[in-house]
Amino acid sequence: MTDPTKYTPRPHRTLEEIEALVAFIDARIEPLRIATKYDGEERKALEALANLVHYVKGLAKAEIKHGDDPSNEFYALAMAAWKWKDHPDWQPGWDPAV
């Protein structure tokens, strides 16, 4: 068990961290979405993912506004971004396992 007198909780995730993750995911999705057939299933899936990413960003903003830590929202976005962990723009601080 962790000694409570020595435990320092991680600082709250910030809106800047959330926005950086969203921008990273958007940059991966948008070129693919544009390249797909307008009424195709791939485009629908990519648009659904983009909408979900921005919805989670909105949830994070609400958490921050209420003074809460948006760690759950950060984790959800980091899990989506994890698929591109080999991309040069990936940030080690986004690792959802950390």
Q: Which residues in the chain come in under a pLDDT of 70? A: 1-4
Q: Is the dihedral of CA 72, 76, 79, 81 positive or negative?
A: negative
The Cα 27–Cα 21 span in angstroms is 10
pLDDT digits (tens, 9 = 90+) for 63-85: 999 999 999 999 999 999 999 99
Instruction: Supply the pLDDT for residue 8.
Output: 74
Model pLDDT, residue 1: 58
Strand extents, DSSP E, the chain: none
**Under a CB-based contact definition with an 8 Å cutoff, are residues 28 and 42 in contact?**
no
Q: What is the pLDDT of residue 97?
A: 87
| Single pTM value for the model | 0.87
Determine what percent of the chain is predicted with pLDDT higher than 90. 82
Domain boundaries, the chain: 15-85
